[in-house]
A and B are shown apart, each in its own frame.
Chain A
């Protein structure tokens, strides 16, 4: 898949094809991480996280990609891995090309984007803590963008309004949980 196609597809939400094509870069990333103190599992996790960040950045209208998607993806991976190493406080004698070189070279805004992603990550956690029905409802509404009427039918609510109220209740529950989590994270 050519670079322009990749970007276009991402922006058009044609995710599956682009993901498959991007996954071909996984071996290179894995090599880098293995060479610099990581495990295979680390490589998987970092790559997945990088794809999410990558997606976000590409979709951000303020972001201008100045290099090839593969290069950028790789640099995101490197950035994430360096960050992770810092967190783990690992002393690693890795490759000089990895250790040297500013992590943010490819993207000045990535630090900030990561910050935002942390919020999203926490929020994702709260979702898993919600009940099944709440989660289902929220995902149907926000991800699959179904109309409340359809959702009401699918989930067995008596009316559209009931569904709406339920949605907000679930949202509120999630908000409260998220607030708690954020508090907890701050005190750590």
Chain B
């Protein structure tokens, strides 16, 4: 043990450079030899670093607090500050994420100050309060009124002050002052100033906050005297009471502020007031503001509790997050860029289509819901639904699964129309997260319909509504919000009715727009699907008819070779007649032989059993290559036989195309290649069998290509090949759309499952929906 301590001491002295040169050299040698010692050294160094870092971090965080405070003060003030109590004990709740403090604004009426002027001491007179209650005249006054928010705490008040503990003589009053030494600040009354006391109270004093006796604003240098009693010990030491009647109150802290200029006491300007932030560790809902009333026996009684109302600070809407909670985080965790608002918005708002009343499109929608009794009535006839119930089948009516509210509602409020309303506040942002979870759009409607009310009032309305719907837990949550007593935005936008109307209109509009977009989306896809289908059918049909026609042709040749009149037997079937039946009489055997020869495209010799004559159908192979084929996106090689009404597409990978030429026909060759949208074209008439040198198609414009294709081939070949060409052109341009569609689909479906679990979408159902 000792040894280790000694080692550590040595290391420390080495690090501090306190070793003599010889010791130092010896130590370094030891270091070189002993890895354990090296490790020790490194650890100790790290520890030193860590300690320094801890201290440094602390400073940084203090700096941050100061920064935040500066920002909040200068940005948060809306117009004038409301007059504040000079001595106030307040509690507020620390901001959840950042530990910032919420400012309290007290109504002017609540401020109370005693005016006293004691002639029996040499003390300076203290300030007078122009508004509010004044203590009973003649009372030997304390220079402040203490107002305490308090709750009756029967479980044991923090301060077990007994009644009558106070000595009612003025001597005790002196004690109070002496036990609480003041802090003095010198400020320039003509400038906005922020001061911070030792105890951590921050005062924001606007310019001209103090008035001289004649009502003029004080200017120049003034003196502020602040006394604080923020912890129980100080309060007790100061002899301050926490009694209201005979009820014990719980204090959040007390302080007094007095201002003077050149020895003369100043008053506070009721129109401006001073803004105070007092640090607290815990939230105490139910806090109220008590006014201090000085009784004739010298004690202070706390009377007239008023609920605290604090103003909301509006922020820029764009900095708020109105999405339902897991949305952005999930997107981010799936690797999407959740910062691009255009993207996150468009994806989220597209789900408004789920709330459309349109039933016939096959789009999954939610069943229309009748208005819940007691919910705010809507003057317009409702086209859009408020609450979501899954439609799938009545047995799977999962009301217990949550579903988020209509995104169109969010879109209707998340814009600059609602800047400077209570929607544009962090307080509302917090509530909105829970509103999403209620799955009940009527709750959101409540907030939008009552923009002129206090947030806490709307909270309680929401809580009532939720209770009526039997959602106890959520109702509790809104009751908890209500207890925070959040107020309004001062000097906010007054256009309440207009905003209400705007909201209702927009919600409808956006929902319908989303439904429309969805419809168009599907229509486009349906169209593409249809075309693809048509093309496939065409191809199949073409191959079939080619076969039939070639078969007929071969048959007639064989007939001729065998000496029969082909006219008897064969008529090339018409292509576009349905249900045409080939009637080849009496040639069943030949039929089969010719049929298989045609189908397999192999040279076949057919012997007529009756006559012994010999007929041949012969096919020769053809190989086509296209030079530079890897560079093309698509290469198609077509044969245009003169005896068939359509073309033959040669199969082959991009490199080699193989086919069999019927010796009885002449073939023209067409090759169309595409590099992106640029077409390349090659034409050869009367192509012969065998291997050919690689084709080199030439660049060609779309219109020119059409013209050429019109000229090639005979009969319907031109039409057919053009159709084919058109399809490939379409398919290429559509490919991007198709890929995007597929990709978006997957994402949309996943997000839909996330945000609207009541739909009970399974993963594979995502395919069926689209």
Residues of A within 8 A of B (CB): 15-16, 19-20, 22-23, 26, 34-38, 41, 44, 48, 51-52, 55, 90-94, 116-117, 119-127, 138-139, 142-143, 165, 168-169, 171-172, 174-175, 178-179, 182
Whole-angstrom distance between the alpha carbons of A126 and B44 in the complex?
12
Do A23 and B52 have beta carbons less than 8 Å apart?
Answer: no
Interface flags, B37-68, vs A, CB<8A=1, else 0: 00110111111111111111101111110110
Considering the complex, give the chain A residue whose CB is closest to the CB of B40.
Answer: A175
Whole-angstrom distance between the alpha carbons of A126 and B49 in the complex?
12
Residues of B within 8 A of A (CB): 4-5, 8-9, 39-40, 42-57, 59-64, 66-67, 97-98, 332, 335-340
Q: Which residues of A contact B48 (CB under 8 A)?
A: 142
- Cross-interface CB contact of B44 among A38, A52, A116, A175, cutoff 8 Å: A175
Interface contacts beyond A90-B332, A119-B50: sample of 18 additional A-B pairs, CB < 8 Å, sorted by A: A16-B62, A19-B62, A22-B63, A35-B339, A37-B332, A44-B64, A48-B60, A52-B53, A119-B42, A123-B49, A124-B51, A139-B51, A142-B51, A142-B52, A172-B8, A175-B8, A175-B47, A182-B43
- Cross-interface CB contact of B43 among A26, A38, A93, A179, cutoff 8 Å: A179
Whole-angstrom distance between the alpha carbons of A23 and B69 in the complex?
12
Do A175 and B43 have beta carbons less than 8 Å apart?
Answer: yes
Q: Which residues of B contact A51 (CB under 8 A)?
A: 60, 63
Do B337 and A37 have beta carbons less than 8 Å apart?
Answer: yes
**CB proximity of A173 to chain B, nearest CB, Å:** 10
A contact face: mostly helix, strand, loop, or mixed: helix
Whole-angstrom distance between the alpha carbons of A116 and B49 in the complex?
9
**CB proximity of B457 to chain A, nearest CB, Å:** 30
Q: Which residues of B contact A22 (CB under 8 A)?
A: 63
Q: Which residues of B contact A142 (CB under 8 A)?
A: 48, 51-52
Whole-angstrom distance between the alpha carbons of A19 and B45 in the complex?
25
Do B62 and A120 have beta carbons less than 8 Å apart?
Answer: no
Do B53 and A120 have beta carbons less than 8 Å apart?
Answer: yes
**CB proximity of B241 to chain A, nearest CB, Å:** 34
Whole-angstrom distance between the alpha carbons of A174 and B48 in the complex?
11
**CB proximity of B74 to chain A, nearest CB, Å:** 13
Q: Which residues of A contact B332 (CB under 8 A)?
A: 37, 90
A120-B49 contact in complex given A19-B60, A171-B8, C-beta closer than 8 Å: yes
**CB proximity of A1 to chain B, nearest CB, Å:** 13
Do B98 and A121 have beta carbons less than 8 Å apart?
Answer: no
A172-B5 contact in complex given A16-B59, A124-B50, A124-B54, C-beta closer than 8 Å: yes
Q: Which residues of B contact A44 (CB under 8 A)?
A: 64, 98
Whole-angstrom distance between the alpha carbons of A15 and B61 in the complex?
12
Do A123 and B51 have beta carbons less than 8 Å apart?
Answer: yes
Do B337 and A48 have beta carbons less than 8 Å apart?
Answer: no
Whole-angstrom distance between the alpha carbons of A52 and B59 in the complex?
10
Whole-angstrom distance between the alpha carbons of A28 and B51 in the complex?
30
Whole-angstrom distance between the alpha carbons of A94 and B340 in the complex?
9
Whole-angstrom distance between the alpha carbons of A123 and B338 in the complex?
34
Considering the complex, give the chain A residue whose CB is closest to the CB of B54.
Answer: A124
Whole-angstrom distance between the alpha carbons of A65 and B49 in the complex?
22
Q: Which residues of A contact B54 (CB under 8 A)?
A: 124, 127, 139, 143
Whole-angstrom distance between the alpha carbons of A174 and B46 in the complex?
10
What are 20 pairs between A and B in contact, CB < 8 Å? A15-B56, A20-B66, A23-B66, A23-B67, A35-B339, A36-B339, A37-B332, A37-B337, A90-B335, A120-B46, A120-B50, A122-B46, A123-B50, A126-B47, A143-B54, A165-B5, A168-B8, A172-B8, A175-B44, A178-B46
